[in-house]
């Protein structure tokens, strides 16, 4: 089946995929919008690879903000750029320059300190939100984040970048 033209929507209603290329990608975060995720979290999408399920975000969390208790179906690597954060379930603090690897299956609750944080998260799979009894209460993956990005662009009247690499 031929690749969808980028101007056409795919079967999920998202921007069609560009043909596969091995050409390098140069991405300037200034060309990407901040997208509100919660009242304390916003993000810029950096990579939304619908072929592999990998997705990366530049995530900003204001002081005292948190990402609800969640489970990863695959690993995540976080690179801390500014501020600091920790998991409620652990006793370490992630600071600028540090790298945090989150293994598949880990359940944790990310909290920021008062200065908040700017961190790049590279996801290999889905993020499942869990309640305290380990019941699934929500999820995100490359498709939900792509949809948030495309919907934001549609509201603002801007063309979404091709982040499927």
Tokens 């795919």 belong to 10
User: CA-to-CA distance for 98 and 89, rounded, in angstroms?
Assistant: 19
Contact, 131 vs 137, CB < 8 A? yes
- Shortest distance, position 54 Cβ to Fe ion, whole Å: 15
- Shortest distance, position 70 Cβ to Fe ion, whole Å: 6
- Return the number of the residue (44 or 72) whose C-beta is nearest Fe ion: 72
- Return the number of the residue (102 or 140) whose C-beta is nearest Fe ion: 102
Q: Where are the beta strands (DSSP E) in 21-162?
A: 35-36, 41-49, 54-61, 66-72, 76-87, 99-102, 107-123, 127-130, 136-140
- Shortest distance, position 121 Cβ to Fe ion, whole Å: 8
- Return the number of the residue (42 or 160) whose C-beta is nearest Fe ion: 42
Instruction: Return the closest-CA partner of residue 83 out of 56, 114, 52.
Output: 114
Q: Taking CB positions, which residue lies at the least distance from Fe ion?
A: 102
- Return the number of the residue (45 or 160) whose C-beta is nearest Fe ion: 45
User: CA-to-CA distance for 156 and 123, rounded, in angstroms?
Assistant: 26
- Convert residues 44-83 into a mask of x (bound to Fe ion by CB under 5 A) and - (unbound): ----------------------------------------
Here the tokens at position 86 are 């920790």
- Convert residues 80-109 into a mask of x (bound to Fe ion by CB under 5 A) and - (unbound): ----------------------x-------
- Shortest distance, position 39 Cβ to Fe ion, whole Å: 19
- Return the number of the residue (14 or 128) whose C-beta is nearest Fe ion: 128
Compute CA distances 160 → 4, 36, 39, 87, 153, whole Å. Answer: 16, 16, 23, 33, 6
* # binding residues, Fe ion (CB under 5 A): 1
Residues engaged in binding Fe ion (CB under 5 A):
102
């Amino acid at each position: 089946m031929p690749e969808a033209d980028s101007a056409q929507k795919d079967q999920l209603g998202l921007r069609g995929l560009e043909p596969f290329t091995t050409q390098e990608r140069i991405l300037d975060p200034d060309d990407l919008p901040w997208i509100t995720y919660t009242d304390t979290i916003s993000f810029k999408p950096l990579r939304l690879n619908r072929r592999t399920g990998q997705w990366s975000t530049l995530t900003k969390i204001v002081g005292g903000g948190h990402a609800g208790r969640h489970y990863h179906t695959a690993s995540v690597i976080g690179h801390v750029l500014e501020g600091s954060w920790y998991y409620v379930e652990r006793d370490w603090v992630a600071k600028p320059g540090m790298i945090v690897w989150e293994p598949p299956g880990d359940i944790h609750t990310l909290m920021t300190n008062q200065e908040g944080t700017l961190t790049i998260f590279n996801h290999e799979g889905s993020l499942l939100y869990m309640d305290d009894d380990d019941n699934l209460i929500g999820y995100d993956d490359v498709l939900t984040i792509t949809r948030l990005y495309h919907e934001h662009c549609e509201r603002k009247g801007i063309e979404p970048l091709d982040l499927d690499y």
